A = this chain, B = another copy of it.
Amino acid sequence: MNKKQLQSEQTKKRIVDAARALFVQKGYKATSIEDIVAATGSSKGNIYYHFKSKEGLFLTLLEDWDREWDVQWSQKEAQYTSVAEKLYGMTDHLVRDDMNHPLTKASDEFFNSDEISPEGEERIAQLVENHLQFFRKLISQGIENQEFKSENVEHVAITLESLFLGLSQMARKLTLDEALALYQSAIGVFLHGMVKKSA
């Protein structure tokens, strides 16, 4: 790699890092390209040289984030035996991660915004699909284990994804400890239900 390519990668990284920090702090819409310019020292034109659009930049961030999360999780996963334990462990990991690197708020805002290009929709759908894939796998595993009831895997996966999606929005004003307690409690309900004697 020659000097120019190296330089280029470094600036790209500078942009990505600054953008991530800003999106986390201020949310998607409230972070302007101008803000990113101010934070990087790079120019507007340069940002558009490296990224197709603000949306594209943001989506890149989300995709990177998910990828990193997967890597970290797969390192931790081995230490859990039952699927129930995995779920608790994953939740713990997720909450701690969401509270520190939370593109969560920005991404909820982004998902629910109405200025998303068709390409953006596509990339979001892919992200969601990855999450569902993850949950499907976990649930199937639980069923094969005889640990879980044999329910409709697709429905349960969407239910789990919905639960986490909703929790992340409800937990925004909570402290880390409160959030942890809430999430663990929610997983408890997911696992054992609310009805006293289950069939």
In whole angstroms, how far apart are the Cα atoms of A105 and B111 in the complex? 11
Interface SS majority for chain A:
helix
- Tell me whether A170 and B158 are in contact (CB under 8 A): yes
Q: Is A114 on the interface with B (CB-CB < 8 A)?
A: yes
CB of A199, distance to nearest CB on chain B (Å): 7
Instruction: Say whether A159 contacts B169, CB under 8 Å.
Output: no
- Across the interface, which residues of B come within 8 angstroms of A142, CB to CB? 194
| Residue A147 interfacial (CB < 8 Å) | yes
For this complex, 25 residue pairs linking A to B, each with C-beta atoms less than 8 Å apart, are A29-B114, A29-B115, A108-B112, A109-B114, A148-B196, A149-B192, A152-B185, A155-B182, A156-B185, A156-B189, A158-B167, A159-B163, A159-B185, A159-B189, A162-B163, A162-B166, A162-B167, A163-B166, A165-B165, A166-B167, A191-B194, A192-B193, A192-B195, A193-B198, A197-B198
- The verdict on A186 contacting chain B, using a C-beta distance below 8 Å, is yes
Contact A186–B162 (Cβ < 8 Å): yes
Q: How far, in whole Å, are A182 and B148 apart by their CA atoms in the complex?
A: 18
Q: Are A148 and B195 in contact (CB under 8 A)?
A: yes
**9 closest A-B pairs by CB:** A162-B166, A193-B193, A166-B166, A198-B198, A165-B166, A155-B185, A192-B193, A159-B186, A27-B114
In angstroms, Cα B193 to Cα A84, docked, is: 11
Residues of B contacting A196 in the complex (Cβ-Cβ under 8 angstroms): 146-149
Docked CA distance A197–B147 (Å): 8
With A162-B163, A196-B148 as contacts: A169 and B111 at CB distance below 8 Å: yes
